[in-house]
Amino acid sequence: MINFGLNKLSKQQARTGLIFMMPWFIGFLIFGLYPMVMSVYYSLCRYDVLRIPQFIGFGNYEKLILEDPYFWTSISNTLVYTALRVPLCIIGSLLLAVLVNNAVRGVKFFRTVFFIPSIVTGVVLSVVWLWMFNPQFGLLNSFLAYMGISGPLWLLDPNWSKPSMVLMSVWSIGGGRMLVFLAALQGIPKHLYEAVDIDGGGWWAKFRNVTVPMISPVLFLWSVLEIIFSLQVFVEAYVMTQGGPLNSTMFYNLYLYNKAFNDFEMGYASALAWILMIISLIITIIQFRLSKNWVHYDGGAK
């Protein structure tokens, strides 16, 4: 009797469970799986949505790898941007988290202040910094001029445009990422630090041998996520530079957008999207491989 009842109950639960997850499943089929399949097909076509697709095999891939200089420019721009931005943002947020982890009075107030810039994202962030970067009247060069330094042209100089955009994202290091790091820091047992004290180690030894290993899973997770985000950078370049000067901020995603929705070359843009997918995948796999050397999942247990 009891067995039968449980069985019936679990059968019913299985049915309800399937019904409840349906919204996601349907969404996944329509907006995930089907588009992925179609995207492969489009990437093998000439297609502008207004007319019928023309199948051309691997023509798009051949063209973008062999003959399209912008493809390579946009890849290298995106990689340089990612390589500058990710370490700076992760280290910046970590240092800030260490700083606000000090139990001094009023630290919560500072934490709030640090968080505020991260609320400003996307278009507003870009518009505001476009003005900050103005070489003649912007805040940065006014400040530098006050210090007696003649500032760079920032976004107008091909050598400075990417670093400028990285600098802009440093403004947001006090946001969610810092909070996560802070929570991780607060989860480190005190006795581990005391052990270093007994061994006579200073703050660097503590940071190097206790803090970093203990929060390495969080650091790892965020570096994976940040790299994926950075590879997809779009709005900043769209609003501030449209890819200029001299294509120095022609990021991968901006190029893809232009191909898809300015030139309506949807087939070509689909091929671009797949290459981006493959690049992201390769980088993530490499990160997982490397993570074995520095990420400690067993830390807290002992």
* Residues in 32-51 at the binding interface with other proteins, rule: CB under 8 A: 32, 34-36, 38-39, 42, 46, 48-51
Residue 138, phi-psi category: left (phi > 0), alpha (psi -120 to 50), beta (remainder) = beta
Beta bridge partners of 46: 54
The minimum distance between CB 14 and other proteins, in angstroms, equals: 4
Indicate which single residue of 61, 193, 207, 257 sits in contact with other proteins (rule: CB under 8 A): 257
Restricted to residues 165-224, the positions that interact with other proteins (CB under 8 A) are: 171, 174-177, 179-180, 183-184, 217-218, 221-222
Element (H, E) at 54: strand 54-55
Applying CB under 8 A, which part among 61-69, 76-84, 205-213, 286-294 lies near other proteins? 61-69
**Any contact of residue 272 with other proteins (CB under 8 A)?**
yes
Indicate which single residue of 7, 14, 288, 294 sits in contact with other proteins (rule: CB under 8 A): 14
How far apart, in whole angstroms, are the C-alpha atoms of residue 253 and residue 256?
Answer: 5
Tokens read off for 187? 């989860």
Element (H, E) at 231: helix 212-231
Indicate which single residue of 211, 247, 249, 291 sits in contact with other proteins (rule: CB under 8 A): 247
Which CB sits closer to other proteins, 134 or 209? 134
Tokens read off for 212? 């970093």
Restricted to residues 106-165, the positions that interact with other proteins (CB under 8 A) are: 107, 110, 112-117, 119-124, 126-128, 130-132, 134-137, 139, 142, 145-146, 150, 153, 156-158
**Any contact of residue 74 with other proteins (CB under 8 A)?**
no
Distance of CA 51 to the CA centre of its chain: 35
C-alpha dist (Å) from residue 161 to 83, 156, 254, 297: 15, 7, 15, 39
